[in-house]
């Protein structure tokens, strides 16, 4: 197949012979594997966060990091959860002041991480371990 593609790019015209086209289409294409999403759900960390379950949230965070999920994605998901809890006034295990404080910390982690002032994965881990 590599030779066919090489010939294709070097050719003066863009027409492929029928046999060459069939050869390209008949070979299965391998796609890169997608990272696991910790039981198929990246948002699973938000459930543990809402319940204030430190052990589960930390465990899920580690699995998501191992699966290749970027810290920026997790920061966005946690910020969304805090913002939703504040908007819906549904925070039985949290006070409104605590959630506002966590929201500010999440924003600081995001911006300071992009500025190179801190290591976002470590700060996310500290956030989970210190606030839950």
pLDDT of residue 38: 41
Mean pLDDT of the chain: 83
Each domain of the chain, given as residue ranges in start order, spans 1-30, 44-131
The mean pLDDT of 51-68, rounded to a whole number, is 94
Task: Return all residues near 13 (Cβ < 8 A) that are at least 6 apart.
Answer: none
Is the pTM value of this prediction over 0.85?
Answer: no
Distance CA 126, CA 104 (A): 14
Quick: pLDDT tens for 85-107. 999 988 789 999 999 999 999 99
pLDDT of residue 14: 56
The mean pLDDT of 47-71, rounded to a whole number, is 93
């Amino acid at each position: 197949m590599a030779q066919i593609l090489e010939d294709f790019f070097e050719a003066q015209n863009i027409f492929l012979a029928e046999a060459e086209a069939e050869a390209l289409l008949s070979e299965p294409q391998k796609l890169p594997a997608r990272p696991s999403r910790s039981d198929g759900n990246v948002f699973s960390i938000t459930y543990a966060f809402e319940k204030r379950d430190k052990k589960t949230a930390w465990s899920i965070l580690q699995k998501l990091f191992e699966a290749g999920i970027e810290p920026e994605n997790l920061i966005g998901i946690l910020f969304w959860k805090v913002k939703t809890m504040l908007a819906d006034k549904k925070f039985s295990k949290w006070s409104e002041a605590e959630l506002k404080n966590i929201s500010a910390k999440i924003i600081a982690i995001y911006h300071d991480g992009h500025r190179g002032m801190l290591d976002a994965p470590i700060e996310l881990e500290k956030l989970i371990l210190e606030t839950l």
